[in-house]
Amino acid sequence: MQRFGRRHRPFYRINAIDQRTRRNGRVLENLGYYNPMDPDESKQLLLKEDKIKAWLAKGAQPSDTLRDMLGKADLLEPKMRAEWEADRATNMNRGKCKLALKRVEAAVASLEKLAEDADVTSFVNTGKKSLTMAKATLSPAKFADAEKAADAAEAALSGAQKAAAADKPAEEPAAAESE
């Protein structure tokens, strides 16, 4: 995709180019355009389907952005479409893993705040282990493992809150006796 237009008003030409040339290098063939600023959505994207299919049959490799556009327009060959769908599923799972990681980070932050007032170090360690597990799930996009880590961190947080609540009433009468 060659970028044209001016600042904050992009316009892209979809071209077939040699992979060894730069983005705005010599064009082999024009395959359409993408104008994201056009208010009419039907006029935003023009794809010359027959030329695109011919280039894909020759072995042309679309960029990730163009592959998404071609996949949504149902112009990808079966093998390439399967790869595109697998990549989309991986990216969706990676997003879910990031949400689970945020849950773990929030639980660990709460655990560390509780650790300042009460002795809940074992719960904090459990939370930190869950954080390490959740971070390890991002790259391979293992959503089930990320959810397990988030659940373990939240369980450690609830256990720490119960332990802290059990310690507080025992400390208050001792403080009253010393006066």
Averages of pLDDT over each 10 residues, the chain, 179 residues: 91 90 83 93 93 92 92 91 93 92 93 87 90 90 91 92 78 50
**Confidence (pTM):** 0.68
Is residue 154 a contact partner of residue 107, using CB atoms and an 8 Å limit?
Answer: yes
Whether 136 maps to a domain, the answer reads yes
Whether 85 maps to a domain, the answer reads no
Whether 170 maps to a domain, the answer reads yes
Q: What are phi and psi of 38, to 5 degrees?
A: -70, 125
Which residues partner with 30 through β-bridges? 15
The count of structural domains within the chain is: 2
Same domain for 47 and 108: no
Which residue segment(s) compose the domain that 168 sits in?
95-178
d(C-alpha 49, C-alpha 70), whole Å: 9
Whether 65 maps to a domain, the answer reads no
Same domain for 53 and 118: no
